[in-house]
Structure 1
Amino acid sequence: MEPIDPAYGTAVLLLIAAASVALLLVLIIVVKLHAFVALVLVSVVTAVAVGFDPAEIPDALLFGFADTLGSVALLVAFGVMLGRLLEVTGGAQVLADRLISRFGEKRAPLALGVASLLFGFPIFFDAGLVVFLPVIFTVARRFGGSVLAYALPSAGAFAAMHAVVPPHPGPVAAAEQIGADIGLTLVLGVPIAVLAWYVGVLLVSRVMAARVHVAVTDAVLGQVMSAEEDEDAGRRPPSFATVLALLLLPMVLISFDTVLATLASADVVDEEAGWVAALSLLGQTSVALLLTVLAAIVVLGRPRVSMARISELFDQALGPVCSIILITGAGGMFGGILELSGIGAALSGSLSDLGFSLIVQAFVIATLLRVAQGSATVAITTTAGLIAASVDEANLGDLQLTLLVVAIAAGATVLSHVNDSGFWLVGRFFGMDVPTTLKTWTVLETTLGLSVFAIALGIWVVV
C-alpha cells in the first residue's frame, strides 16, 4: 500500500504523531485498557486524524498488522515449541550449566550475552530471542534476582548484531544504497557491535537490574511441570552436544539465506540458480525454525515422551503467546499507520539538508525517522536514500562509507517505543508492563545506539 499525500504540513503531522503516542500511553497506563485494544483504537483515530479516506482505513490498518504478524507469528510459535521441549527435557538446564561452568556464577549475564552475540551473527533479533528464552529463564531461576539481569544482556546482544552487522537486512540495504563495501561493513561492524554491546548494554543492564526488579516468570513457555512423564524426561537430559547442535541448526540454515543474499547482491552468485533458490528456501527463518522443531521432536522429545504428550506440551506453549502475537501485530499496525500517513516523508524532506557533518546528519535523520514511525528498517532505508546524493558528491573513501552505514544503523536503533513491534515483543516476553519497558528496553536501545554512533563518530574524526 502506498503512503497517502499528506493533508497537513510536517509540524502538524508530527503533532498528530506525538498526540497519538500520548493517547496510547494514557489508555494503557492510566485507563488500564488492554494493549491490543488500545493499539487498534489509537491506530484508527490516527488514521482519521491524518486524513485517510475512510474507505482506505481498513486496508491501512491491515498493512502494518499483517506485515508484522506474518513475520512474528511463525517465529514465536516455533520458538516457544522448541523452548518448551528444551525446558521439559532438561536441555536448557544442560546449556545453562555449561555456560556457568565456563564463565562462573557471577558472570552469568556475560555468558548469556556472549552466547547471544555468537548466535546473533546470522539469526534475526526476534528469532534469536525466542530460541534463547528457555536458557535465559533457566539461568534466572537458578540464581534469582531480577530477570532483567539475564534477559537484557542477551536481548541487547541480538539487537546489536541485528542492527549493525551484515548479513542482516538493515546494514546490507544501507550499504547497497550508498555504495559501501559489504565486506568492510562486516569486518568493521562486528567489533563495533561487540564494544557497543559491552558499554551500552551489559554495563547499563547491571544498573537497571539493581534498580528495577522484574520477577522471573516463564509462563510464556507454558511451564507446567506436573506430569510424571515430564519429570521423567527431565531426569534423562540430552547431552550438551545435542543441545548445542539444535541451537546451531537454525543459525546454520538461516545463514544459507542471509549469506547467499549478500553474495548475490555483490554478484558473486546467481540468485536465480536452482541450488541458490533451494538453500535460500531452507534459510527462510520460518522454514529453518520449523525444521529445527521437527529435529527437536526426534532427538529431544520422542526418546523421552510420547507424541501425544509432545502435542500437549506444544498446546501449553502456544496458548500464552497468543496475546503476545496479537499485541505485537497491533504495534506493527500503529507503526504502519504512521508510515503511510506521510509523516516519515514529510520529516525526511525537511531534514535532507541540515548543514552539518554528513555522519551526524545521517544519525539524526535515522533517529527522527525511527521515533516518528517505529520501524528500524524503514528508518535505515529511507535515510540511506536521502543522503545517497550527498554521499556521491562528497567522494568518500570505503571506510567513511562504512562508518555512514554504522551511523544510520545507530540512529535507527535508539528510542524503541510503543510504535515499534519489538518493544511489545520484549516487554511481553519478560513480563514487563509499559512503564517498565520504557524505563528499561527503550533506555537500553538508546544507550546501545548512542554507543554505536559514538564509536563510529570517533573513527570518522580520526580518519
Structure 2
Amino acid sequence: MEAIDPAYGTTTLLLMAAGAVALLLFLIMKVKLHAFVSLVLVSVVTALVVGFPLADIPDVLMFGFADTIGSVALLVAFGVMLGRLLEVTGGAQVLADTLITRFGEHRAPLALGVAALIFGFPIFFDAGLVVFLPIILTVARRFGGSLLLYALPAAGAFAAMHAIVPPHPGPVAATEVLGGEIGTTLLVGLPVVVVAWYVGVLLVSRFLGARVMVSLPDAVFGEVRDGRGRSEGERADESDAQRLGDRPPSFGTVLGLLLVPLVLISFDTVLNTLITAGVIDEGTDWAEFLALLGFTPVALMITVITAILVLGRPRTSMERVGKIVDSALGPICSIILITGAGGMFGGVLELSGIGAALSGSLSGLGISLIVQAFLIATLLRVAQGSATVALTTASGLIAGAAGDANLSDFRLALLVVAIAAGATVLSHVNDSGFWLVSRFFGMDVKTTLRTWTVMETTLGLSAFLIALGLWVVT
C-alpha cells in the first residue's frame, strides 16, 4: 500500500504518534489489557484519528500485520521445534558446556555473544534468536542470576549484525541507494559492529543484569509445570525408556545442526549480494534453486527435519518426537500474534505519513550529513518501528545530498553505519522485535523498556559515535 497524503502538519502528526504510543503503554501497563488486544485497538484508533478513509482501514491494518506475521510465524514455529529437540535430547546442554569450557565460566555471556556474532552474519535477527534461544536458556539455568546477563549479549549481537552488516537487506539496500560499494560497507561495518557490540551490549548487559532480575521463563518450549513443579519433559524423563537425554549428541553434531541454517541461509543472502553486484546474472536456474534452499523458512524446515532424523529418531519413536515438537508450538501462539500486532501498529504509523513528515522537516537543516542521516533514521525508527524501513527510507532521503557531496566509498559506508545506528536505537512498542524479545524472555512491557530498549539505544549510539569519529578523521 501507499502512504496517504497527510492532512496535518508535522507537529500535529508527531503529537498523534506520541499520543498513540502513550495510549498503548497506558492500556498495557495500567489497565493490564492484553498486549495483542491493546495493539490492535490502538492501531484502529490511530488509523481513524490520522484520517484514513474508512473503507481503507482494514487494508491498512492488514498491511503491517500480514507482512510481519507472515515472516515471523514460520521462523518462530520451526525455531522452537528445533530448540525443543535440542533441549530434551541434551544438545543445548552439550553446546553450552563446551562453550563455557572454552571461554571459562565467568565469560559465559561473552561466549554466547561471540557465537551469536558469528551466526548472525547471514541469519536474520528473528531467525537467529529462535535458534539460539534454547542455548541461552540452558546457560542461564546452569549459572543462575538474571536472564539478561545471557540473553542480551546474544540478542544484541544478532540485532547489530542484522542492522549494520551486509548481506542483510537493510545495509545492502542503503548502500545501493547511496551509490556505495557493498564490499566496503562490509569491511567497515564488521569492526564497527564488534566494537559497538562490546561497548553498547556486553558491558551494558552486565550493568542491567546486575540491577534487573529477570527469571528464567518456564513455558517458552512448552514446559507446562504440574503440581509438583515438573515439566512435561521432566515427567517423561522419569521413564527410563523415554529418557532422551541419556545419550546426548556430541558437540560436533549440535554445531553441525546449527550450521545447517547458517549455510543454507547464506545461499540466499550471498547470492542476492552477488546478483546485486552483477557477478551472477539474475534468473540463473541454479542460483534460484540455491536461493530457495536459503529462504529462511525453508532453511529452518530442512534443519528441523535433519534434527528429527539426527537427534530424535535414534533415541525414541516418531510418535514421541511428534509430541515433543507439538508441545513446543502451543506457547508461541501468543508470541506470534503479539509480534504481528506490533507490525500492524508500525504499519499504520508508516502509511500515515508520520515518518515522511518528520524526516522531510529535518532534511533541510544545516547540519553535518552524517549527523543528519543518524537523526532522520532515528526519527523514522521511533515513528514507525521497523528498523529496515527506517534504514531504507533514510538512505533515500539523503541520497541526493550524498551524491552532491561526491563522497568516497569509505565515507558512504560510514553513512550507512550511521543510518543503521539511528534505525537501531529506541526500540519500543511499535517494533515487532520488541515484542519478540519481550515474550521470548518472559518480560513485561516496563521491564522490556528498561532493558531491551536501553540496550538497543546504547548499541546504536556506540555504532554512530564510532562512525562519526571515523568521519571526522578522514
Q: TM-score range by the shorter chain?
A: over 0.9
Q: Structure 1 pair 229/219, CA: closer, same or farther in 2 (3 Å)?
A: farther
Find the aligned partners of 1:354 and 1:57 in 2 and give their Cα distance. 34
* Aligned equivalent of 1:425, options 430, 436, 441: 436
Counterpart in the other structure of 1:298? 309
Give me the whole-angstrom Cα distance separating, in 2, the residues matched to 1:438 and 1:93: 30
1:30 maps to: 30
CA distance in structure 2 between the aligned counterparts of 1:454 and 1:5, rounded to whole angstroms: 35
Contact 2:36/2:341, CA 8 A, preserved across alignment: yes
Please name the residue that 2:171 is paired with. 171
* Structure 1 equivalent of residue 340 of structure 2: 329
For 1:213 and 1:258, the matched residues in 2 are separated by: 37
Match of residue 298, structure 2, among 264, 287, 290: 287
User: In the alignment, what sits opposite 1:437?
Assistant: 448
| Correspondences of 1:23-422 after superposition (within 5 Å) | 23-223=23-223, 224-225=232-233, 226-227=235-236, 228=239, 232-422=243-433
* Counterpart Cα distance in 1 of 2:368 and 2:85: 52
SS in 2 for 1:219: coil
SS in 2 for 1:296: helix
Residue type of the alignment partner of 1:421: S
Amino acid at match of 1:363: F
Cα distance in 2 between the residues matched to 1:454 and 1:285: 33
Superposition deviation, residue 398 in structure 1? 1.1
Which whole-Å CA distance do the structure 1 matches of 2:241 and 2:348 have between them? Answer: 45
1:20 aligns to what?
Answer: 20
Unaligned ranges ≥5, structure 1: none
The structural deviation recorded for 1:422 is 0.2
Kept after mapping to 2: 8 A contact 1:328/1:421: yes
Partner letter of residue 187 of structure 2?
Answer: V
Partners of 1:3 and 1:454 lie apart in 2 by 33
Task: After TM superposition, give the deviation of residue 349 of structure 1 in Å.
Answer: 1.6
Offset at residue 427 of structure 1 (A)? 0.6
CA deviation digits over 1:147-206, x for unaligned, max 9?
Answer: 110000000010111111100011000000001110011111111001100000000000
Give the partner amino acid of 1:375: S
Partner AA of 1:25 in structure 2 = L
CA deviations on 1:123-169 (whole Å, 9 max, x unpaired) are: 00000000001100000000011111000000001011111110001
Paired residues of 2:117 and 2:157 also in contact (CA < 8 A): yes
1:382-410 superposed Cα distances (whole Å, 9 cap, x missing partner): 11111111011101111111100100000
Shift of 1:216: 1.1
Q: What amino acid is aligned across from residue 281 of structure 1 in structure 2?
A: L
Following the alignment from structure 1 to structure 2, what is the Cα–Cα distance between the partners of residues 71 and 299? 27
| CA distance in structure 1 between the partners assigned to 2:351 and 2:68 by the alignment | 15
Structure 1 CA distance, aligned partners of 2:218 and 2:275? 41
Determine if contact 2:163/2:388 at 8 Å carries over to the other structure: no
Q: Is the CA contact (8 Å cut-off) linking 1:165 and 1:190 kept in structure 2?
A: yes
Q: CA deviation at 1:353?
A: 1.6
Displacement of 1:458 in angstroms is 0.6
Kindly state the Cα deviation for residue 348 of structure 1 after the two structures are TM-superposed. 2.1
Structure 2 contact 65–341 (Cα < 8 Å) conserved: yes
CA deviations over 1:412-433 (Å, ceiling 9, x no partner): 0000000000000001100000
Q: Assess if the C-alpha contact under 8 Å between 1:65 and 1:336 holds in 2.
A: yes
Whether 1:456 aligns to 2:451 is no
**Per-residue deviation, 1:3:** 0.9
CA contact (8 A) 1:229 1:305 kept: no
Offset of residue 305 of structure 1: 1.5
Q: Counterparts of 1:342 and 1:423 in 2: how far apart (Å)?
A: 22
What displacement does 1:218 show? 3.8
Return closer, same or farther for 1:229/1:338 CA change in 2, 3 Å cut-off: farther
Looking at structure 1, the residues matched to 392 and 154 of structure 2 have their Cα atoms a distance apart, in angstroms, of 26
| RMSD, aligned α-carbons | 0.9
TM-score, normalization by structure 2: 0.97
Shift of 1:230: 8.2
Does the aligned pair in 1 maintain the 2:3–2:352 contact within 8 Å?
yes
**Partners in 2 of 1:295 and 1:188 — Cα distance?**
36
2:335/2:440 contact within 8 Å kept: yes
Deviation at 1:435, TM superposition (A): 0.2
* AA at the equivalent of 1:92: A
1:349-368 deviations in Å (ceiling 9; x for gaps): 21222211100000000000
Give the CA deviation at 1:229.
6.3
| Residues 163 and 171 in structure 1, CA contact (< 8 A), matched pair in contact too | yes
Residues in 1 aligned to 2:286 and 2:250: alpha-carbon distance in whole angstroms: 33
Instruction: Name the SS of the counterpart of 1:2 in structure 2.
Output: coil
Secondary structure in 1 matching 2:243: helix
Q: How far apart, in 2, do the equivalents of 1:229 and 1:119 lie?
A: 35
Q: CA deviation at 1:7?
A: 1.5
User: In 1, Cα distance between the equivalents of 2:84 and 2:285?
Assistant: 36
Equivalent residues of 2:242, 2:316 under 8 A apart: no
Give me the whole-angstrom Cα distance separating, in 2, the residues matched to 1:210 and 1:234.
Answer: 32
Structure 2 alignment gaps of length 5 or more: 224-231
Number of aligned residues: 463
